[in-house]
Amino acid sequence: MASGDSGIRETARLVRFAEHESRAETLRAQLADLHGTIRLAKRTSNLFRARTATSTPGLDVSGFTHVLDVDPLARTADVEGMVTYERLVDATLPHGLMPMVVPQLKTITLGGAVTGLGIESSSFRNGLVHESVLEMELLTGDGRIVVARPDNEHSDLFHGFPNSYGTLGYALRLKIELEPVKPYVRLDHVRYDDTAEYFAALGEACRNGSADFVDGTVFGPGEQYLTLGTFTSSAPSTSDYTWLDIYYKSIRERETDHLGVRDYLWRWDTDWFWCSRAFGVQSRLPRLLLGRKLLRSSVYWKLVALDRRFGIAAKLLKLRGLPPEETVVQDIEVPLSRAAEFLDFFRREIPISPVWICPLMQRPGGVNSPLYEMDPETLYVNFGFWSAVPLDPGEAPDTHNRLIEAEVTRLGGRKSLYSDSFYTEEEFWRLYNGDAYRKLKTAYDPDGRLLDLYAKCVRRR
């Protein structure tokens, strides 16, 4: 019986891969039929760059949403590029496994996290998302479908795909490593009043290996929390932050907490970290009315897209006689040794709180992308901040973002490109290795069917 079940599973796996190959060939043919600059036809996105509406036809990748295989013995998964992490986690957890890094929001796709550099609280030991990728099947700008591995003829693309944001090609399938989990995660929220002590404790937590997850939340001067998560086989009770209670508020209220592993992975999604407060849904009544299904990041993102389309927030500010605001939505990282300097700068110049803190370090033996080079011996600290700040009379609409970019560069750091960037072209290519990028572009998209990285991430197009 067991042998028969194994045969049935193998047949089903082969069928899934054959169906994937058919979808991939259809997409390749679609690309061949399109003319001019190409884009993806996507209904949703987790990018926050301002983009001009376009009538250019897009590649329909909506079918690439399948988990093709989970191998619990090899601890690997074969996954199509448009699979969301919510779907991926639901496929791996029944096997007692999870991806090495699970970004915070349910609708982030695996392909998007690899090409756009995903991180989370396991990144201090597992690096960035792309470091646990074993191979990628990519549709390149010149119309080929190639399988890129770290040791084959497309190793340059394998290493260069991270931080390319779909400007070299699109991920159709990825093979990734998985790691074992336990049913629960114990959380210890430790408060620090002193900034230097806080970052010293963060560094020690990452070095001593006693925690499986490390991140933090800075609410203001003298109120900084380090959250240490540890897998455990049992829990006295578990909290629920998927409806009425709010996770980030619990950090101030509870020294110790327990969550089921799935709820831990999505602890930030229900309230989009803390950004749900901008939509007025952190009070009890609206949460009761909305229910669990509508309290999620994908719903908030649609509201943001609606605001961008019609300029609702800006019009309301004007009606109320308030100054215009500059959107500041960024994730940056600087070496741990410069983290206190950056936080001091941020407190002086950028009136946003809370701020998310996430340590990361290149995984031993991991993939170091030439487009986002990191020192493999250095522990970095990611700062995430997502809000808007008022502009003083005469201030340019990019004032605060440019201040942040300059300070991050001064401190030897880098910023993610999922949101608006304001670098000059010279600055941009110096920071993101223009020489390496141009070689990849020539090799895999010589006719420029896809936008180049600067045009996509900085120019307003």
pLDDT tens for each residue of 221-244: 999 999 999 999 999 999 999 999
Reported as type and span, the H/E element at residue 190 is: strand 184-192
Question: Mind listing the pLDDT tens digit for each residue in 341-381?
Answer: 999 999 999 999 999 999 999 988 767 799 999 999 999 99
Task: Indicate whether 313 pLDDT > 90.
Answer: no
Domain-embedded: residue 441: no
292 and 405 together in one domain: yes
- 307 and 266 in a common domain: yes
Domain membership of residue 320 (yes or no) is yes
Q: Total domain count for the chain?
A: 2
pLDDT at 211 over 90: yes
Q: Residue 328 falls within a domain, yes or no? A: yes
Are both 130 and 207 inside the same structural domain? Answer: no
Instruction: Give the pLDDT score at 119.
Output: 96
User: H or E stretch including 26?
Assistant: helix 2-33
- Is residue 189 located within the same domain as residue 108? no
What confidence tier does 41 reach under pLDDT thresholds 50, 70, 90?
A: low
Residues 307, 379 share a domain: yes
Question: What is the C-alpha to C-alpha distance for residues 20 and 24, in angstroms, rounded to an integer?
Answer: 6
Instruction: Give the amino acid at 72.
Output: P
Q: Specify the pLDDT at position 59.
A: 85
Give buried/exposed letters for 118-139 (b at 16+ CB in 10 A, else e): bbbbbbbbbbbbbbbbebbbbb
Q: What percent of the chain has pLDDT over 70?
A: 94
Instruction: Give the mean pLDDT of 112-125.
Output: 95
Is the distance from CB of 380 to CB of 359 less than 8 angstroms?
Answer: yes
d(CA 399, CA 355): 19
Residues 196 and 128 in one domain: no
Q: How confident is the model at residue 335 (pLDDT cuts 50, 70, 90)?
A: very high
Looking at the fold, whether 175 and 229 belong to one and the same domain comes out as no
Higher pLDDT, residue 316 or 394: 394
The domain that holds 62 is classified in CATH as 3.30.465.10
Residues 249 and 342 in one domain: yes
pLDDT the model gives residue 1: 46
Once rounded to an integer, what is the mean pLDDT over residues 38-64? Answer: 68
Q: Are residues 387 and 285 in the same domain?
A: yes
Which of 181, 196, 224 is at the close of a domain? 181
pTM of the model: 0.93
Looking at the fold, whether 148 and 18 belong to one and the same domain comes out as yes
pLDDT band for 48, please (50, 70, 90 cuts): low
| Of 160, 181, 202, the domain-final residue | 181
Tell whether 442 is covered by a domain: no
* Co-location of 172 and 188 in the same domain: no
Short-list 195, 220, 200, 241, CA closest to 354: 220
pLDDT score of 460: 54
The neighbouring-strand residues paired with 223 are 220
CATH code of residue 251: 3.40.462
Q: Which of 307, 386, 321, 323 is nearest to 350 (CA)?
A: 386
pLDDT digits (tens, 9 = 90+) for 236-277: 999 999 999 999 999 999 999 999 999 999 999 999 999 999
Tell me, yes or no, whether 438 lies in a domain.
Answer: no
Task: Report which residue type is found at 213.
Answer: F
State the residue range of the domain holding 83. 1-181
Model confidence at 37, in pLDDT bands (50, 70, 90)? confident
pLDDT tens digits, 365-421: 767 799 999 999 999 999 999 999 999 999 999 999 999 999 999 999 999 998 889
What is the band of 3 on the pLDDT scale with cuts at 50, 70, 90? low
Same domain, 85 and 2: yes
pLDDT band with cut points at 50, 70 and 90 for residue 90: very high
pLDDT beyond 50 at 285: yes
What pLDDT does 365 receive?
Answer: 75
The residue among 415, 431, 446 that closes a domain is: 415
- Classify residue 78: in a domain, yes or no: yes
Domain membership flag for residue 75: yes
Residue 381 lies in a domain: yes
**Amino acid in position 18:** A
Q: Which residue has the tokens 């089921």?
A: 260
Q: Region 313-320: what's the mean pLDDT?
A: 74
Query: What is the pLDDT, as a whole number, of residue 60?
Result: 87
